[in-house]
Chain A
Amino acid sequence: MAAERYLLDELAPETRDEFEEHVFDCPECALDLRAAVAFVDEAKVQLPALTESAPTPAPPSISKPRAKRNWWLAWTRPAFVVPAFALLLLVLGFQNLVTLPELRTQAAQPRLLAWVPLRGEMRGASAAPITADREHGVALSLDISQQPGLAPYPSYAFDLLDPQGKLAWTGIAPAPPASDAGGQRIMLFVPGASLQNGAYTVAVFGVGPGGERISIDKYFFNLVLKSE
C-alpha cells in the first residue's frame, strides 16, 4: 500500500524520494498511484454533499426541564439497591472462586495446535480452503521467506482483513529465525470467537529500519466454520 502511504504523507522523506523514483520508472505503480489520486480528487469534489447528513455535536439543550423527571431515581432506593448489590457480590464471588481459576489453569497448560500452512500470492498460491471451529480457532503458518538475494527485514507487520475486507487485526513481530533451508515461517493464531465464514486476507509487510512498511506478500484463505 505504498501509494496510500504516499498520499497520506506517511513516508519518511528518503522513502518518499525512493518511491517517487520507482513510480517514474514503473508504469504499473504509476497507474496505481494515479488511480488513487484520481479517486481522492474526485472524492474531494463529492464528499461535501455526501457528508451533509453527518451527525454533528448536539447543541447545548435549552429545552425546558420535564415536570416529572425523577422517576428513575426510584432505583436508588434501598429496597432496590440492597438486593442488587447482594446479587453483584454473588456474581463477583463466583467469578473469582470458580471461573477465573479455571481459565488460569487452562492458560498455563500446553496446547496442541494443528496449523495450516499458507503460501503467499507472490508464490502463486490461491485462496486455501480452511475448516475450523469456534472452540479451537485456526493457526496459520505463513511462509514469509524472502526471495533469494533479498535481505530479510528486521521485523514484519501483519494485517488480517475479514471477509468484509475490514481490518480485523494488525500486529508486528520480529523476524523469525531462518530454518536450515533458509526459509522463514511465522504462525498466526486467530481465536475462534472472532472467526466468521468467508474469504480472509493476511497482508504481510516488511518493516524497515525507519518504520516504513513495504508490502511483501498476501495470503488468502476461505474459512468454513464447522457447525457446533
Chain B
Amino acid sequence: MLYSWRLGAGGSVLEFQSFDAAYIERLWAGDSGTQAHFIGYFTQLLRIKLRSRLQSTHAIEDVCQETFARVFAVLRKDGGLRQPERLGAFVNSVCNHVLLEHYRLAARSDSLDEEGRPELPARGADALEIVGARQIRERVQQILRDLPLRDRSLLKAVFLDERDRDEVCREFGVDRDYLRVLLHRAKQEFKAEYIRRIGDRAPLGANA
C-alpha cells in the first residue's frame, strides 16, 4: 500500500530534490522510487507541522496519510500540477484543509485526537528515525556537553519540561534572544553532521 509507507531505518530520503514537471510525471505514473522519495520527504515536514497542532501520534499519522491520499488523487485526476515547482506549497495547502476537517470532526464527535483517548507513548525522535545513527547521538551529546550546565538546564526546561518560556528565561536570568541564539548555535554545529548522515542515506537518485 502506497499510503502506509513508513519511514524506517531504510527510509529513502533525498535532500535538495527539485520538484519539476518530470518529478510530477514520475509521481503520477506511479514510479515507486519517486513515490518513496515524495512520501519520505513530506512525511517529515508534515509531522513537524502537525505535532504542534495535534496531540496524538495517531491523529498526526491520520492527517498525514489523508493528505497524501488527496494529493495523489489530485495528481491522478488532473494529470499533474499547473506549477510543478510549487508541489511543496500544494502539499502544505492540502494538509491545511485536511487539518481543518479534522478539527471540525473532532469538535462534533469522538475523534482520534480526543483527550479522553489513552495517549500513546510519544515517538519523540521522528526525524531521528531517518538519521538515528550513533554518530548523530554522539554529536548531539558532544554539543550538549560543550554547553555550560546552565544552558543545558535551560534547554531542558524549555524543550523537555515544556515550561513557559518567559518564566524559564526569568528564572535563568536570560532573555528570549539568548535562548534563540543558544538554539541557533547548537543547531548550526549539529547541521553539518546531520547533512552528512542524510547524504549517506540518500539512495534515491535525484532524477532516477
Contacts and interface: CB of A to CB of B under 8 A. Distances in A.
Contacts of A51: 149, 152-153, 156
A191 B184 CA distance: 26
Contacts of B137: 42, 45-46
Interface residues on A, range: 35 or more
A145 B93 CA distance: 33
B183 A36 contact: yes
Interface string B159-197: 110000100000000011111110111110011001100
B186 to A, nearest CB: 6
Interface residues of B, number: 57
B172 to A, nearest CB: 11
B153 A54 contact: yes
Contact of B191 (A1, A8, A32, A55): A32
Nearest to A38: B127
B1 interface: no
Given A41-B125, A51-B152, A10 B195 contact: no
9 contacts: A4-B184, A10-B176, A31-B198, A38-B127, A42-B137, A43-B186, A51-B153, A53-B149, A170-B177
Given A24-B88, A51-B156, 4 more contacts: A10-B176, A39-B143, A39-B194, A48-B156
Closest 4 CB pairs of A and B: A24-B88, A38-B127, A24-B92, A25-B88
Interface of A: 1, 3-5, 7-10, 17, 20-21, 23-28, 30-48, 50-51, 53-55, 159, 161, 165-167, 170
Interface of B: 15-18, 41-42, 44-45, 48-49, 52, 86, 88-89, 91-93, 96, 124-128, 131, 136-137, 140-141, 143-145, 149, 152-153, 155-156, 158-160, 165, 175-181, 183-187, 190-191, 194-195, 198
